[in-house]
Amino acid sequence: MVHPGPCARRGGAAVSDDALYVIHIAESIDLIEHYVSEGKQVFLGERKTQDAVLRNLQTLAESSQRLSAELKARYEDVDWAGIAGFRHVLVHDYLGVNLERVWEIIEGDLPELKRSIVSMREEFGV
Q: What is the pLDDT of residue 91?
A: 85
Catalytic residue chosen out of the listed positions 10, 47, 66, 87: 87
Q: What percent of the chain has pLDDT over 70?
A: 88
Helix axes 17-35, 110-124, angle to 10 degrees: 140
Query: What are residue 26's phi and psi, to 5 degrees?
Result: -60, -45
Catalytic residue chosen out of the listed positions 66, 74, 92, 101: 92
pLDDT band of 7, cuts 50, 70, 90: very low
Cα-only R_g, the chain: 15
Q: Is 87 a catalytic residue?
A: yes
Q: Which tops the pLDDT comparison, 91 or 80?
A: 80
Q: What percent of the chain has pLDDT over 90?
A: 79
Q: Evaluate if residue 19 carries a pLDDT over 70.
A: yes
Q: Is 92 a catalytic residue?
A: yes
Helix (H) or strand (E) holding 10: strand 9-10
Give yes or no for a contact between 52 and 35, defined as CB atoms under 8 angstroms apart.
Answer: yes
Q: Evaluate if residue 59 carries a pLDDT over 90.
A: yes
Q: Evaluate if residue 9 carries a pLDDT over 50.
A: no
Q: What is the CATH number of domain 9-124?
A: 1.20.120
Helix (H) or strand (E) holding 13: strand 13-14
Burial of 32 (0-12, 13-18, 19+ CB in 10 A): buried
Q: Evaluate if residue 4 carries a pLDDT over 60.
A: no
Collect all residues with Cβ–Cβ distance below 8 Å to 19 and sequence separation of at least 6: 121, 124, 126
Q: What is the pLDDT of residue 6?
A: 46
